[in-house]
């Protein structure tokens, strides 16, 4: 049988190659290291964790914790290897990064169905089933080839996002629904009103808040005038003067507070992020503040004191495709069946999410190689919800996303007992669906295990 090609042996590429081989199809996995390293990669092994050694929460009541359990049960190479190389980290799953990478490299190299080639691939192969997983720092000829495939401006090189909060965590006894000048659907925006005193306290805190450290390649990307002026961090805007924010993203004009009938001194607008209305983003609040500082400083905004962040604001170099209507929920290119993308470049964000997309793309690439139809990973699971998000996106500009319960299909019935009880219910439903997927794809019951 003709091998499937996988390009890039990062988290997504290794997972994809492993799942393809698991379904009996040979794979050629091409990796440019150690001949060439991206500005963030250092270790010659595969599946390198370029920054933190944490794969985040291990708890099922957390979306990324549930995603890990789904992947574990499905027989993910990345998850089983992480479990074997873990180091103590409280409620999180963290690994010894070198042992983790070395174990995965060994497993891939020992796999008789996977052939590894050390080469930088400079264009998308013209035919055959292929998975491109070259990561968020894809550049040069390969970036050009992807950009040419999707057309001009469909490949982004920079990620500047404002924080996204869980709609249920916004205090609506303070924040009010209203679109500016009453135009459009009022539920499109939730407005957090500020008095002068509240604005002063927030402004002071913002001026002195701690920012995250920048990598050289992030600094370089941001020095582009069109990037910087188009998405200036909120804390930089604040430094331009006391009123800059009040004339910019915190403009109160046309947003009277129904409680007073008057426009507040300043307003932070939250824009609905998805049709279900479960997620809202802070309009114009792209930021470099550390995650802890975002929680502290944005917690001073009336209505957001107890906000739960589905995604913090970030600004960094990140190559990703404008995936909605270009990729299917299986990460397959709609205009070219048989060509899959996987990893952070599809618009998922994070180590585990990247591996998860590699899982889905790998399984479906092997089905394509066998001449079979792709299989849907339902949006009732976290792994499936990521593919559905990437292929359909949000209301505004498409932005990469971490795993989140905001992306998963809402429950059919309302659950009493608050957020925790609701999340537990999500977990029960998802793991049942994963059991069905396992039986369908691998003919396995959970008790039979999925060790690599």
Ligand X SMILES: Cc1cc2nc3c(=O)[nH]c(=O)nc-3n(C[C@H](O)[C@H](O)[C@H](O)COP(=O)(O)OP(=O)(O)OC[C@H]3O[C@@H](n4cnc5c(N)ncnc54)[C@H](O)[C@@H]3O)c2cc1C
| Residues contributing to the site for ligand X (CB under 6 A) | 7-13, 30-33, 38, 40-41, 50-52, 120-121, 133-138, 142, 215, 343-345, 350-351, 354
Three-class DSSP category at 364: helix
The three-point CA angle 447-451-452 to 5° equals: 155
Cα–Cα dist 226/244, whole Å: 20
For residue 451, give every residue at least 6 positions away whose Cβ sits within 8 Å of its Cβ, in sequence order, or none: 75, 80
Cα–Cα dist 403/407, whole Å: 7
- Cβ closest to ligand X, residue 215 vs residue 429: 215
Per DSSP, helices labelled H in 212-259 are 216-222, 225-230, 234-239
Cα–Cα dist 273/216, whole Å: 31
From the CB of 234, what's the least distance to ligand X, in Å? 22
Angle in degrees, 0-180, between the axes of helices 382-392 and 418-442, rounded to the nearest 10:
90
For residue 9, give every residue at least 6 positions away whose Cβ sits within 8 Å of its Cβ, in sequence order, or none: 17, 29, 30, 31, 33, 46, 47, 108, 116
Q: Are 346 and 146 in contact (CB under 8 A)?
A: no
From the CB of 196, what's the least distance to ligand X, in Å? 39
- Cβ closest to ligand X, residue 356 vs residue 367: 356
For residue 185, give every residue at least 6 positions away whose Cβ sits within 8 Å of its Cβ, in sequence order, or none: 179
Which of 332, 336, 284, 279 minimizes the C-alpha distance to 308? 279
- Cβ closest to ligand X, residue 64 vs residue 192: 64
The three-point CA angle 150-152-155 to 5° equals: 65
Three-class DSSP category at 120: coil
From the CB of 137, what's the least distance to ligand X, in Å? 5
- Cβ closest to ligand X, residue 12 vs residue 178: 12
From the CB of 281, what's the least distance to ligand X, in Å? 20
From the CB of 354, what's the least distance to ligand X, in Å? 3
- Cβ closest to ligand X, residue 30 vs residue 76: 30
From the CB of 248, what's the least distance to ligand X, in Å? 29
- Cβ closest to ligand X, residue 21 vs residue 438: 21
Q: Which residue sits closest to ligand X, CB atoms considered?
A: 10
- Cβ closest to ligand X, residue 212 vs residue 434: 212
- Cβ closest to ligand X, residue 41 vs residue 419: 41
- Cβ closest to ligand X, residue 16 vs residue 250: 16
From the CB of 391, what's the least distance to ligand X, in Å? 17
From the CB of 419, what's the least distance to ligand X, in Å? 23
Residue 288 DSSP class: -
From the CB of 197, what's the least distance to ligand X, in Å? 38
């Amino acid at each position: 049988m003709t091998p499937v090609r996988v390009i890039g042996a990062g988290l997504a590429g290794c997972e994809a190659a492993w799942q393809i081989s698991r379904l009996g199809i040979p794979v050629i996995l091409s990796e440019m290291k150690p001949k060439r390293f991206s500005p963030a990669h250092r270790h010659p092994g595969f599946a390198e964790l370029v920054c933190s050694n944490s794969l985040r929460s291990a708890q099922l009541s957390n979306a990324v914790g549930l995603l890990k359990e789904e992947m574990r049960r499905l027989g993910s190479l990345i998850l089983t290897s992480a479990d074997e190389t873990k180091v103590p980290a409280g409620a999180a799953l963290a690994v010894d990064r070198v042992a983790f990478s070395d174990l995965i490299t060994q497993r891939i190299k020992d796999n008789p169905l996977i052939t590894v080639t050390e080469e930088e691939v400079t264009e998308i192969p013209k035919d055959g089933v292929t998975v491109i997983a070259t990561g968020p720092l894809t550049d040069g000829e390969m970036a050009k080839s992807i950009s040419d495939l999707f057309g001009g401006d469909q490949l982004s090189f920079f990620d500047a996002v404002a924080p996204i909060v869980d709609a249920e965590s916004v205090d609506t006894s303070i924040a009010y629904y209203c679109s500016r000048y009453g135009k459009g659907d009022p539920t499109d925006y939730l407005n957090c009103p500020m008095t002068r005193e509240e604005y002063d306290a927030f402004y002071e805190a913002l001026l002195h808040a701690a920012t995250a450290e920048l990598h050289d390649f992030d600094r370089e990307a941001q020095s582009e005038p069109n990037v910087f002026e188009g998405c200036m961090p909120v804390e930089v805007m604040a430094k331009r003067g006391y009123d800059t924010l009040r004339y910019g993203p915190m403009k109160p004009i046309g947003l009277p507070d129904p409680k007073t009938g008057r426009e507040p001194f300043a307003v932070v607008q939250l824009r609905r992020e998805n049709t279900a209305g479960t997620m809202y983003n802070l309009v114009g609040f792209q930021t470099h503040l550390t995650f802890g500082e975002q929680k502290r400083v944005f917690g001073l905004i009336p209505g957001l004191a107890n906000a739960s962040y589905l995604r913090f604001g970030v600004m960094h170099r990140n190559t990703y495709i404008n995936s909605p209507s270009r990729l299917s929920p299986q990460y397959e290119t709609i205009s070219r069946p048989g060509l899959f993308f996987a990893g952070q470049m599809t618009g998922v964000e994070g180590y585990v999410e990247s591996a998860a997309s590699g899982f889905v793309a790998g399984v479906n690439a092997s089905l394509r190689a066998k001449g079979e139809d792709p299989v849907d990973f339902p949006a009732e699971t976290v792994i499936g919800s990521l593919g559905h998000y990437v292929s359909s996106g949000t209301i505004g500009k498409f932005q990469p996303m971490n795993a989140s319960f905001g992306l998963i299909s809402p429950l059919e019935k309302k659950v009493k007992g608050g957020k925790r009880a609701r999340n537990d219910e999500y977990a029960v439903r998802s793991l049942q669906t994963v059991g069905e997927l396992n039986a369908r794809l691998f003919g396995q019951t959970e008790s039979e295990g999925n060790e690599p």
